Amino acid sequence: MAKRSKAYLAAAEKIDSDTLYAPLDAIRLAKETATVKYDATVEVAFRLSVDPRKADQMVRGTVNLPNGTGKTAKVIVFANAAKAEEARAAGADEVGGDELIEKVAAGYTDFDAAVATPDLMGKVGRLGKVLGPRGLMPNPKTGTVTMDVTKAVTDIKGGKIEFRVDKHANLHFIIGKSSFTEAQLLENYAAALDEVLRLKPSSSKGRYISKATMTTTMGPGIPLDQSKTTKLLEELPA
């Protein structure tokens, strides 16, 4: 087991591992126990009662966080001609066709999201081994294979996040930074939670979210009461 820092241990002492914290209480604890000197990322992890090996139980989606993520995502776009110009105008960090495909095939993955026009997916599809394991492969279901590259780039830059259940049935997503207000983090959590719940597979049995934890970068996990799924924003003081 890795040796924990004094700051981590001090933060962990403030958290009762046997208590399931309501979302607002968890957010307050997350802000209080952030142990790094920089602006920590606040993340939520769910354990879902699904079998990701079954196609009808793969939970994957996107959500526009109302208060953004706290960072501007680096976006690349696979496009040519007029669509490439549109992507550049929308603020894409890198745009290209064959040359960008070759660059990624060689191992370039220093970006947060990739968008592609449908006509290039025949070639982009060959990048599966590079992009797939990192969750970066453009996909029509998440709006990243599209002719409307302007909207795709603008949405991602504006705080659109993508989430996908892994092979162990865990799902991770960020809800902002520790510098965000309690209200901003709670609004982002509520928006993401609503979308995860909306995507519940009809074939999923039992309690859909079996476990939930909130963490900050390098900080201790805070057990989250996943049953507190309605009227979240009413928890906020006036």
> Residue 226: is its pLDDT beyond 90?
no
pLDDT in the model for residue 4: 74
Q: What is the pTM of this model?
A: 0.81
pLDDT tens for each residue of 151-189: 999 999 999 998 999 999 999 999 999 999 999 999 999
> Residue 237: is its pLDDT beyond 70?
no
Across the chain, what does the average pLDDT equal? 91
What helix, strand, coil percent values describe the chain, rounded to 5?
Answer: 35, 20, 40
Residue 7 identity? A
pLDDT in the model for residue 172: 94
DSSP string, 21-56: B-HHHHHHHHHHH--SSS-PEEEEEEEES--TTSGG
pLDDT in the model for residue 234: 64
Q: What percent of the chain has pLDDT over 70?
A: 94
pLDDT in the model for residue 235: 60
d(CA 185, CA 65): 9
